[in-house]
Amino acid sequence: MTDSIAQQQMLYVRDEMSDAEIAEQADLYGPLTDSVRELIELALLTEVDGPEVRAAQEHLESAKQILRTRVNPGPYGVRWGASGQKRAWGNAAAGLRNAIAPPLVFNFDADGRAWTDFHLGSAYEGPAGLTHGGIAALVLDQALGSAAEAGGAPGMTGTLNLRYLRPTPLGALHAEARIDRVEGIKTIVTGQLSGPDGVCVEAEGIFILPRWARGGDSAKVSDPV
Ligand SMILES: CCCCC/C=C\C/C=C\C/C=C\C/C=C\CCCC(=O)SCCNC(=O)CCNC(=O)[C@H](O)C(C)(C)COP(=O)(O)OP(=O)(O)OC[C@H]1O[C@@H](n2cnc3c(N)ncnc32)[C@H](O)[C@@H]1OP(=O)(O)O
């Protein structure tokens, strides 16, 4: 096994945290993340005068000084508590502690559909007034990957094909995905990203269970989902 694969595996951790401790952490860090997310939008759109900008920045420097007194060297990784509750809190699309995540919160239907209603603000702009195409890809990668995982056939994105049908607005959006078929260690998933006028982006992905997680290769975490 190469060092980089060993490093990946080490970031999948069972830390035995109780559900109550997890809820306490979510209550503590969730509002901090929301506040930073709002700050990103304010930094982009504020039109206050120079002295106010500089005063606000000084406050931010003080906040940073408090937070940096004890810091996990990172990245956050994926952690499971004692009951098996998963925390992918660093995830760029859905992480509870990641302020750059929209964040996406998924629902799962009994028929295998994963879906999310979410909002993209001005920080996700690509073409003027529209969602950046890379952000649409981020959302769909996460939606398709989540459907694969929820269907018991998780994997790393091997291939992701996208067809941008119409411009994706900013604002209220919907994404959904479902498993099309499972072929051994490969899960083929399809999905869409939609705005108020209909489907904007269609996606098909192949998700592949990496070699190290297939068993027989000393997978560190044996019961991840
Ligand atoms: C124990 C912990 C759980 C482990 C679960 C692991 C991952 C799950 C991760 C997340 C799931 C959770 C939630 C989902 C959330 C988010 C989704 C976003 C996920 C990502 O953001 S993820 C980052 C981007 N992603 C990468 O960074 C991948 C880099 N890459 C690799 O890590 C390898 O490249 C890999 C693993 C893809 C394949 O490597 P490998 O060694 O396992 O492949 P191998 O040679 O054995 O081939 C086996 C069969 O797959 C075919 N095949 C190979 N490569 C293919 C490809 N690219 N496309 C289509 N088919 C392919 C072959 O043709 C053969 O097919 P056949 O058997 O039919 O001949």
Q: What one-letter code names the amino acid at 12? A: Y
Residue 224 has pLDDT above 50, yes or no: no
Closest CA to 202 of 213, 194, 210, 214: 194
Pick from 135, 141, 156, 189 the residue to mutate for probing ligand 1's pocket: most ligand atoms within 8 Å of its CB. Answer: 156
Nearest atom in ligand 1 to 211's CA: 42
CA of 152 to the centre of ligand 1 (A): 15
As annotated, the residues of the chain forming the CATH 3.10.129.10 domain(s) are: 104-225
- Specify the ligand 1 atom closest to the Cα of 12: 2
Report pLDDT for 216: 59
The reported pTM is 0.94
Give the number of the atom of ligand 1 that is nearest the alpha carbon of residue 206. Answer: 59
Q: Is 128 exposed, middle or buried (0-12, 13-18, 19+ CB in 10 A)?
A: exposed
Tell whether the model's pLDDT for residue 176 goes beyond 80.
Answer: yes
Q: Which pLDDT value is given to residue 218?
A: 40
Q: Is residue 8 pLDDT above 90, yes or no?
A: no
> Right CATH number for 104-225 from 3.10.129.10, 3.40.50.970, 3.20.20.70, 3.40.50.1820?
3.10.129.10
Residue 156 CA to ligand 1 centre (angstroms): 4
Q: What long-range pairs does 1-5 form, CB within 8 A, spacing at least 24?
A: 1/212, 1/217, 1/218, 5/210, 5/212
Atom 64 of ligand 1, residue of closest alpha carbon:
186
Note the pLDDT tens digit of each residue in 106-151.
999 988 899 999 999 999 999 999 999 999 999 999 999 999 999 9
CA-CA-CA-CA torsion for 80, 81, 83, 88, nearest 10 degrees?
-40
Q: Which residue has the higher pLDDT, 223 or 93?
A: 93
